[in-house]
A and B are shown apart, each in its own frame.
Chain A
Amino acid sequence: MTSWLAACCVAWLCAPQAPTAPWFVERPAPAFVDHHGRVGLAKRSITEVNGGGVGLFDLEGDGDLDLFFAQGDPHDGSGPRPSQVFRNDGAFRFEDVTTACGLDLAIDACGVAVGDVDDDGDDDLYVTAIGDDALLRNDGGKLVRVDGAAGASDPLWSTSACLCDLDGDGDLDLYVCNYLALDETADSLTRAGATFRGMPVLAGPLGFNAVPDRLYRNRLREDGTLRFEPIDDAAIGPPAFALGLLALDADGDRDLDLYVANDSQPNQLLRNDGDLKFVDIGLEAGVALGAAGNAQAGMGVAAGDLDGDRVDDLFVTNFSHDTNTLYRGLGGAAFKDTSRTSGLGPPSFAHLGFGCAFVDADLDGALDVVIANGHVYPNVEASALQTSYRQPLTAFANDGRGRFKPFGAAFATEPCVGRGLAVGDLDGDGAQDLVVTRLDEAPLVLGNTNATTARIVLRLIGAVRSGRDAIGARVTLELEDGTRRVRSIVGGGSFQSASARELVFGLCESDASATLTVDWPSGASRTLTAEPWTRSTLTEGVDAIERVVLPRPGSLR
């Protein structure tokens, strides 16, 4: 308690106060049950244990975040079940609108990326799968599958994907993480002989062949016709067991670089050298390996400025009996592994982390860390290994200087086999809520309990050179006392999931207006004043700012 209190005594943070109440409470879940693989102990191959992700997107342009769940194959001979879409009424009530929105997508879906690929102002979806992926164009609330015509359907086992402008032409290109080759026979997929610390386990990924990721250039025509052009694999390095993906400007040169978390192989930081040419600088940058120079089992990823130095840090979830890894950004694409000293590494030893995110859960101005955990070996509890198949969600409270304490009471939920995790304001109160997918179960919808701390929410819509989703934009908030906080809009993140892209600034005890400076990816800059308890939508190149007043404590909604 003492160290926690001391850590919070930073000028620009809240008065010292250890969290006591849960940050998030469970809300009624949508009518969706994960069917990736046979249930529980019956799972027999690696294809059954990675689960599916969740995407937060605005289906109908009504301002509420709706939900897409990637559904899988239950391996019961009936084939993959359909993925589902749920419309959000803005008060944690979700209606199944899969049929209503025209979606009939029965593929062995894994993950989802969200982005306006046709630049028409709404959110489109790219769904990764074991087998052919799907590109779903949003036509006024109807999801139309267009991957065949658009040339964007990766046939490999795809996991995470990201829609972001990688060539600086303003439209969203596509990067797809691919995992392993499935040309093995069914027998080989379920082959025996693999062990983990002496325990017989499901085989893979080691022992299987990795497959290359895929990069597609968006050749959107002026008439709105979508066309994706695959880029030579050589542009993005050798095959690896890729699971997690982020797009961020790691070297500060105003283009988007890519960070790929690989399972059991070195992670990659693909520096964008222009014209869709990339160079892997992961090793030199210090983000490829663990502290001992070993490849880890990267799953989920997150990025953001955790320590207030205005440089984005990188976080990767890893396997159990290893630790999650925090790479502190030093600027100029240089990082230092601070997993141990930050306090994020050691407590993660027993957990197998998947989805993760940086969230200002307590709205104190500092980004906290939330993680969905769950083992991949259903039989792990039969061994003497000190871990479990179902694991708790974990959260770490940031003292504002990038030092963390586990906050065990952050979630009032039972342990689960957590996989995907996405962040967004589901009830319109300006605080970030969570959706977590769980293997074999319904997802968790977790509402942020903080209704009293002032906040400012900002949504950016970029002009041509920034891309509509403004991925790569940086926003600096400055309070009256001179305190500054920096947030970036990153692409991708977490594990097979897509979070909302709006930025939330917790104001802690302050209730005064703040100055926001937006540095667009295009190089343009804009400064505006924002009042607490407001959500502002800023469009690049447009003077007018849309403002919505958020519900305050005691106000009627």
Chain B
Amino acid sequence: MIAAVALVVAALAFVQDGGRAATARLQDDAIEAKAPPTPPTLREVGQGVLERSRSDGFAAVREDVARFVDDVIAANVYESPPDIVLGDVLDALLEQQITLAAALQDHELMTSTAVALALVGSGERGVARLEAAVAMHDATFACVLAAGHVRSARDDANGALELYERASALRPDSSLPWHDRGATLGRLGRFPQALEAFDAALRIDPTNAGAQFNRAIVLEKLDRAGDAEQAYRTLASGDTPYAPRAALNLGTILVRRGDREGARTAYERCVELDPDSASGRHNLGALLVELGEDAAAKPHLERAATLRPNDPRPLALLGQIADDAGDVETAERHLRAALRCDPRFQSARYRLAQLLRRSGRAEAAKEFEDAS
């Protein structure tokens, strides 16, 4: 979603004007108040922009609105945790922007703002605006494509597929609608058609890494693990944003096949490219545990547990490592932490029960054996 919004913000930036005066005024206020050097919070910035839009009119703050939306997205505040007040500010600004766009008959601004609203603001209003824009006979390629995204995100797959087809008609030279069509078909489980769509995207743009990556996933679904492996290998050796995930998926294919050394190399590549890949860290750690290399596994599992604190798997493996090393206290702590994430997590239940029995706590063990 963030990537889609970033596209919208880029579009917003394209149409922005003004805002320098407001920025200067902010600076003046800061000097007059002799405020401490601490920068204002996002919320304060947003509220300031909103107040000025009400007093000076939206046109005067359009550039600040665009920057604010960009900052909001960069700060990822909509992912975790949601900030209701900030959301209201954002919605209010985008509503004003879309009103202005309608008044100016600026179709591009209106549709891109609608997409922003649909994705990060008050969804229903944004979608309504976007649908209205798409209904216009001269809807732009970006508008149609964005509407397709919104419909796909809202599980209206057929609606999305219609719009991707329309987008392809508008821009036959773009691989994007074919990619998006493939992604939607893949989610529907229509893998042969999805593969055709990704192939079409790659005929138009062989460098479309997204299409390459998603095509590899579809190949796996079609039991063509060898072809998927080759695709992942190519992607993993490159430097596109898909390289870490390609390395991760390559590792998983190799593990399934039993090529543990190959999988190790792939997972190591994944965490080299993306040190914060929780899945990469976990999978590499789990594989190293299987290989009996506990010392090497431990830091990866600890990192995975930090990156994804609600995932019981790395915690259970850390418990296993500690248990095998005879560190009962640490093992119990990790295993109980894993079970706080998922009380039914089988391996943690089993190992904790075993540990408790060995520690002379048979009664306590029964709780975990009964449900195992």
Interface of A toward B, CB cutoff 8 Å = 197-198, 283-284, 286, 289, 291-294, 320-321, 323, 330, 334, 336-338, 340-341, 343, 345-346, 349-350, 384-387
Interface of B toward A, CB cutoff 8 Å = 223, 225-226, 256-260, 289-292, 294, 320, 324, 346-347, 349-351, 353-354, 357-358, 362, 365, 369, 372
- CA–CA, A548 and B347, complex, Å: 53
Whether the Cβ atoms of B257 and A293 lie closer than 8 Å is: no
Whether the Cβ atoms of B257 and A283 lie closer than 8 Å is: no
Contacts of B358 in A (CB 8 A): 286, 330, 334, 336
12 further contact pairs, Cβ within 8 A, besides A321-B258, A334-B357, A341-B292: A197-B256, A284-B365, A286-B354, A289-B350, A291-B320, A293-B350, A294-B347, A320-B258, A343-B292, A350-B258, A385-B257, A386-B259
Whether the Cβ atoms of A386 and B357 lie closer than 8 Å is: no
Whether the Cβ atoms of B256 and A198 lie closer than 8 Å is: yes
Whether the Cβ atoms of B258 and A387 lie closer than 8 Å is: yes
Whole-angstrom distance between the Cβ of B166 and the nearest chain A Cβ: 38
Whether the Cβ atoms of B257 and A384 lie closer than 8 Å is: yes
Contacts of A334 in B (CB 8 A): 357-358
Task: Determine which of A197, A330, A340 lies in contact with B289 in the assembled complex, contact meaning CB atoms within 8 Å.
Answer: A340
Which of A293, A320, A338, A343 has the most B CB atoms < 10 Å from its CB?
A: A293
Contacts of A337 in B (CB 8 A): 354
- CA–CA, A338 and B358, complex, Å: 14
Whether the Cβ atoms of B346 and A292 lie closer than 8 Å is: yes
B interface: dominant SS: helix
Whole-angstrom distance between the Cβ of A200 and the nearest chain B Cβ: 10
Contacts of A289 in B (CB 8 A): 350
- CA–CA, A337 and B350, complex, Å: 12
Whole-angstrom distance between the Cβ of B57 and the nearest chain A Cβ: 63
- CA–CA, A323 and B324, complex, Å: 16
Task: Determine which of B258, B292, B320 lies in contact with A386 in the assembled complex, contact meaning CB atoms within 8 Å.
Answer: B258
Whole-angstrom distance between the Cβ of B102 and the nearest chain A Cβ: 54
Nearest chain B residue, comparing its CB with the CB of A286? B354
Whole-angstrom distance between the Cβ of A388 and the nearest chain B Cβ: 11
- CA–CA, A334 and B357, complex, Å: 8
- CA–CA, A384 and B350, complex, Å: 33
Whether the Cβ atoms of A385 and B258 lie closer than 8 Å is: yes
Whole-angstrom distance between the Cβ of B253 and the nearest chain A Cβ: 9
Which of A321, A334, A384, A385 has the most B CB atoms < 10 Å from its CB?
A: A384
Whether the Cβ atoms of A198 and B291 lie closer than 8 Å is: no
- CA–CA, A181 and B157, complex, Å: 47
Whether the Cβ atoms of B291 and A346 lie closer than 8 Å is: yes
- CA–CA, A69 and B257, complex, Å: 35
Task: Determine which of A286, A293, A340, A350 lies in contact with B324 in the assembled complex, contact meaning CB atoms within 8 Å.
Answer: A340
Known contacts A294-B346, A330-B358, A336-B358; A341/B324 CB under 8 A: yes
Whether the Cβ atoms of B292 and A284 lie closer than 8 Å is: no
Whether the Cβ atoms of B290 and A346 lie closer than 8 Å is: yes
Nearest chain B residue, comparing its CB with the CB of A386? B258
Show 14 A/B contacts (Cβ-Cβ < 8 Å), sorted by A: A197-B257, A284-B362, A284-B365, A286-B357, A294-B346, A321-B258, A330-B358, A334-B358, A336-B354, A340-B292, A384-B225, A386-B257, A386-B259, A387-B258
Contacts of B351 in A (CB 8 A): 291, 293
Whether the Cβ atoms of A292 and B259 lie closer than 8 Å is: no
- CA–CA, A284 and B290, complex, Å: 24
Contacts of B290 in A (CB 8 A): 323, 340, 346, 349
Whether the Cβ atoms of A293 and B372 lie closer than 8 Å is: yes
- CA–CA, A198 and B229, complex, Å: 14
Contacts of A321 in B (CB 8 A): 258
Contacts of B223 in A (CB 8 A): 198
Nearest chain A residue, comparing its CB with the CB of B255? A321
Whether the Cβ atoms of B347 and A293 lie closer than 8 Å is: yes
Whether the Cβ atoms of B258 and A292 lie closer than 8 Å is: no
Contacts of B225 in A (CB 8 A): 198, 384
- CA–CA, A350 and B260, complex, Å: 10
- CA–CA, A197 and B258, complex, Å: 10
Task: Determine which of B256, B259, B260, B369 lies in contact with A283 in the assembled complex, contact meaning CB atoms within 8 Å.
Answer: B369
Contacts of B362 in A (CB 8 A): 284
Which of B324, B354, B362 has the most A CB atoms < 10 Å from its CB?
A: B354
Nearest chain A residue, comparing its CB with the CB of B355? A336
Nearest chain B residue, comparing its CB with the CB of A285? B357
Contacts of A386 in B (CB 8 A): 257-259
- CA–CA, A129 and B369, complex, Å: 36
Whether the Cβ atoms of A293 and B320 lie closer than 8 Å is: no
- CA–CA, A336 and B356, complex, Å: 12
Nearest chain A residue, comparing its CB with the CB of B323? A336
Known contacts A284-B369, A346-B290, A346-B291; A338/B324 CB under 8 A: yes
Whole-angstrom distance between the Cβ of A352 and the nearest chain B Cβ: 11
- CA–CA, A430 and B357, complex, Å: 41
Whether the Cβ atoms of B257 and A284 lie closer than 8 Å is: no
- CA–CA, A330 and B225, complex, Å: 44
- CA–CA, A486 and B347, complex, Å: 34
Contacts of A336 in B (CB 8 A): 354, 358
Nearest chain A residue, comparing its CB with the CB of B348? A293
Contacts of B256 in A (CB 8 A): 197-198
- CA–CA, A334 and B347, complex, Å: 19
Contacts of A198 in B (CB 8 A): 223, 225, 256
- CA–CA, A458 and B29, complex, Å: 99
- CA–CA, A286 and B362, complex, Å: 12
- CA–CA, A65 and B88, complex, Å: 88
Give 3 nearest A-B pairs by CB, closest first: A293-B350, A386-B258, A292-B347
Whether the Cβ atoms of B324 and A283 lie closer than 8 Å is: no
